[in-house]
Every structure is written in structure tokens, then in C-alpha cells.
Amino acid sequence: MKSWILYRVNGQREELADWNQVNWSKVYKVIKSLRKRIFRARKLGQWKQLRRLQKLMMKSYANLLHPQKEKVLEFCKELGKTIKSCGSWSQANLITKLNPKLRGFANYYRGVVSSDTFSYITYRIWKYLWRWAKRRHPMKSITWVKNRYFPRHKNREWTFMCWDKDSRGNEKEFILFDVSTTPIRRHIKVKGSNSPDDPNLTEYWNKRTTKQGKQFWAKGSKYEQIAKEQNYRCPMCNQFLFNGEEIETHHLVPVKEGGSNNRDNLTHLHKACHKQVHGKQVIKA
């Protein structure tokens, strides 16, 4: 790895040539001791000392969570095997196969320090796809392959995309999800001793769950737009969507009756409410 990786323990900063050089047993002892000092300062009411120790804790890179190196490499190898096994697939089918895997990985690790990891995965998957594209057209030039599979899209070069027909026969744009564009979302701690069982804090918990729920769908996606139009409430029970129950997307006009996947034909419901809707339809039939 590059020599710019930095390592801080108890305020001391060192440059490392390899992440494995970190003495993690020493790091664990220092962080554990620092946490004890923070707890003691809070208990004794030493607020200046508490703020100083908290700043020291925040400066320690050892206190930050990173995706495990072995998991990242295993995920990259899995992507490589998937792309290699799909040598005869169309570009649209390959994108449809890869996007759920990429989104799932990005959503799982977006709460920790993952920006460098996401950029690394983007580079690895580009290498796999470039090799996949060149093997399909060994007699074509590199420029032709680039323009065919990696055209310019929205002022961005090297976008793995294509136009193809969906299951309904309509022309649709297929774009590979770019993991490196995933924003990092930090976990927000609960204020003081606020309890979800306190009836006086209902508004606080509703705002908190709604704010966390806004990260449930990709920013700007049609599913996020649907939730905004519903004011983040279930139209059946009029409760907040993100109250701990599972959420499902319902087709107002069923697909078997010609209903589309467009935004105006979709709505978000709690799982129990969704079952009630389909139960009423069965009774009417």
C-alpha cells in the first residue's frame, strides 16, 4: 500500500508503509484507557478535561471504523468471477446482475470510513469490465470498444451503460451503479437520556426515524420521490413509514392488469398494510 496511510494513537502521528504495521494491541489499550478517562471526567464534572479528551479521541484514526480488508478483497473477487462467467451475456443483463450487489455493499458500509474503499472497488470493477468488453470484440480497436461500452454520460467519461428493452419491450437506459458516488452517512447518537417510551418525546423520535429513513432509498430515485409525496407516511394506517416495520412497494394497478412501474402507479406501505390491501382484493374477487 502507499506510504500516505496515517496512524494516530493518543495524539501521536506516524506515517506507515503498510496498514499491517499498526500495533493493534497497543491501540486497543490506549483507546480503552482514553475511554475510561472520559467516563471519569464526566462523572466528576471536569468539563474542560472532558472536552480535551473527546477531541483527542476524535483525532485518533484508530477510533474510526473501516471495512475489513479481507471482506473487500473477497467482494472484488466475487465480482470478477461473476463478470467472467457472464461472457456471453448482453450488457444490459450484466448491469442488472451487478447493480444489486454494488448497491448492497455500498449501503452496508456507507456508515463508516469507506470513501477510499469505494474508489478502490470502482477501479477494480472497471478493470474487470474492460477485460470483459475487449474479449467480446478482439478484432475491434480500443477506441471502438470504449465508445461502444463506456460512452460519455452527463459530462462523465467511462460510464458503463447502454440502451436496451425492458421486460415490457420499452426502450430503457441501463447504467452501472457507481459505488464511489455513495455519500458517507454518519450515525447520529440519541440525545442525553431520551427514551422512545417517553410520550413527551414522540415528535423527537418521529423526526429522528424520518431523518434516518431518508437514507433508505438512493437519493433522487423514484422510490425516494414516492416517499416524499406521501410525506413519509403509510397511506393505509397514516403512521410514519419508518416505525420499525418492514416497508413494501405496492402497485395501485396490478402488473397483471397492465399496471406499470412508473412513479404514479407505486406507493409505499407497511408489510402488514400491504397484506390487508391484497386481502381486500381477494375478498372482492
CB under 8 Å to 115, separation ≥6 — which residues? Answer: 180, 184
CA distance 142 to 139: 10
Task: List strand residue ranges (DSSP E) for 168-277, in order.
Answer: 171-175, 247-251, 266-270
What are φ and ψ of residue 200, in 5° steps? Answer: -75, -10
| One pLDDT digit (tens) per residue for the chain, 285 residues | 333 334 444 445 554 445 556 666 776 777 778 888 888 888 888 888 888 887 777 666 555 667 888 999 999 999 999 999 999 999 999 999 999 999 999 988 888 778 889 999 999 999 999 999 999 999 999 999 999 999 999 888 999 999 988 777 778 899 999 999 888 877 777 777 778 778 888 788 777 777 777 777 777 778 888 988 888 889 999 888 887 788 999 999 888 888 888 888 999 999 999 999 888 654 444
Its pTM stands at 0.63
HEC sequence for 12-60: EEEEECCHHHCCHHHHHHHHHHHHHHHHHHHHHCCHHHHHHHHHHHHHC
CB 188 within 8 A of CB 208: yes
